[in-house]
Structure 1
């Protein structure tokens, strides 16, 4: 009989060339939790649980994991802000630091002296930001744009999955078609591409080889290209005292703040994520 303990040992041994021990264990527990329909805590408490029925699937998943393919793409879904999201290689895998950004937006809505009516999410990808905001603030109109038809299909599916209504629009923020009718917004939020080629050298191959490059990479000579375009867009489409939120490249915090200040935004706040890195920013028009 093959048990949970056996699978943990085998996966750790086989994945050592791709992941460190801690990551390998976390990924293995995620896979086992999915296939056995049991919590990670239960799996740890009962390591002698049989995995005989799941052996074939476990072997297929292991071979995929060894290529560096992210476990979220293999399983086809992930968790974000307490919700389930389907993901595939046409969208980025939602990250914990983006959850922190969503939390900051929700706190700002709660503290706002005036009612928030319209929010725009630029570069929505899987829809994780826009859908989480709608789930938590159902009375607010949420709009979301992306350049990728494939990404928008995933996002629309995720809105259905989570039973929320988001207005999805296909558009290129670097070349925005002004004939697209949009209201004025109280909040614009974006987690745009910000990875430079220098950053790429330090990244894990499960990101660089599998996640969509258009959603990740920017030219080395103009790493703030999306931030500039979105800030210019926000100057036209934000209501007075409207808020602009960004997830940012941790090594370009100061440059991003200066660029936004130069475009007449005020009360700019740079915030660190739970790992102590400059990862998000809020500014007021």
Structure 2
């Protein structure tokens, strides 16, 4: 079968679940991964064909997409902040909003990143996307990353190797941590923040495939991770050290109040590309 003909069938089969543009993007992502062909290659060579064996592989992938398994898990990888990351069922798929958090950290540290060895801690690292992106872009930084899941850390270690950076990974339950044992210039975290009451807003492909441990918190204690991390930041940030969070879009006001009560300074709330309250930065008062 001609690849162009299969493309038409593939997109048509997916459109009851995904819009046509997204379905088409899936097709070309898989085409590049499985056959090392880009959109331009197919345009220039419209008579290219799939073998029967290839069609069988594609049909299997199509069936999994119809079950709303994320394409990143099917391909086993994704891109984040211009870098390649392995992803699997043990880690969340990195989001564009989190790229914005990384960009915020980097833009606030353009001057000092060249002048001293920063110590950075990423709490709840998952795939390692934040820690590794910061390590890649601040080569002289000492970067540490904590996660409660050893399976997640195994993936993060692979990603550090893929991207040729040195990150110290630590298997640790942050909620049971009383002291981080050393001081950091920057602490950053994208902890679990989705309340159970918000599950109905979560897409099926996320809800049924991505690790709930990294997603959800109880409705009556939605800021549990933020409170704990802020307490540790009070002890373990250097004077004027920086604390960054990705947050629940509905809890910006509550987060501001939490950090104000804990006497953090220069607290800033920032919206993401979709206009949602998504990031916070605070400095440790001297």
Q: Shorter-normalised TM-score: what interval?
A: over 0.9
Per mean C-alpha deviation after superposition, the further-off stretch among 48-57 and 160-169 is 48-57
Deviation at 1:21, TM superposition (A): 2.3
CA contact (8 A) 1:29 1:43 kept: no
1:186 corresponds in structure 2 to 185
Question: Structure 1, residues 107-128: CA drift from partner, whole Å, max 9, x if none?
Answer: 1111449735200000000001
CA contact (8 A) 2:178 2:232 kept: no
* Consecutive unaligned residues in structure 2, runs of 5 or more: none
2:264 corresponds in structure 1 to 265
2:105 corresponds in structure 1 to 105
1:89 corresponds in structure 2 to 89
Distance verdict in 2 for CA 1:59–1:172, change over 3 Å: same
CA contact (8 A) 1:184 1:237 kept: yes
| Aligned mates of 2:47, 2:203 — CA distance in 1 | 33
* Consecutive unaligned residues in structure 1, runs of 5 or more: none
1:148 corresponds in structure 2 to 149
| Aligned mates of 1:118, 1:75 — CA distance in 2 | 33
1:13 corresponds in structure 2 to 12
1:76 corresponds in structure 2 to 76
2:228 corresponds in structure 1 to 229
RMSD of the alignment, in Å? 1.8
Secondary structure at the aligned position of 1:142 is classed as strand
CA contact (8 A) 1:130 1:144 kept: yes
Distance verdict in 2 for CA 1:56–1:282, change over 3 Å: same
Per mean C-alpha deviation after superposition, the further-off stretch among 137-146 and 57-66 is 57-66
| Aligned mates of 2:43, 2:102 — CA distance in 1 | 31
| Aligned mates of 1:231, 1:45 — CA distance in 2 | 55
| Aligned mates of 1:64, 1:14 — CA distance in 2 | 12
CA contact (8 A) 1:248 1:279 kept: yes
Deviation at 1:44, TM superposition (A): 5.7
Deviation at 1:83, TM superposition (A): 0.9
1:1-285 to 2 correspondence within 5 Å?
1-3=1-3, 5-43=4-42, 48-52=47-51, 54-112=54-112, 115=116, 117-176=118-177, 178=179, 182-285=181-284
CA contact (8 A) 1:271 1:279 kept: yes
TM value normalised by structure 1:
0.93
| Aligned mates of 1:125, 1:142 — CA distance in 2 | 15
Deviation at 1:103, TM superposition (A): 0.8
Question: Structure 1, residues 169-217: CA drift from partner, whole Å, max 9, x if none?
Answer: 0111111154xx6420000000000111222101111100000000000
Question: Structure 1, residues 128-159: CA drift from partner, whole Å, max 9, x if none?
Answer: 11111111111000000000010000001111
TM value normalised by structure 2:
0.93
Question: Structure 1, residues 78-128: CA drift from partner, whole Å, max 9, x if none?
Answer: 111111111110000011111111111111111449735200000000001
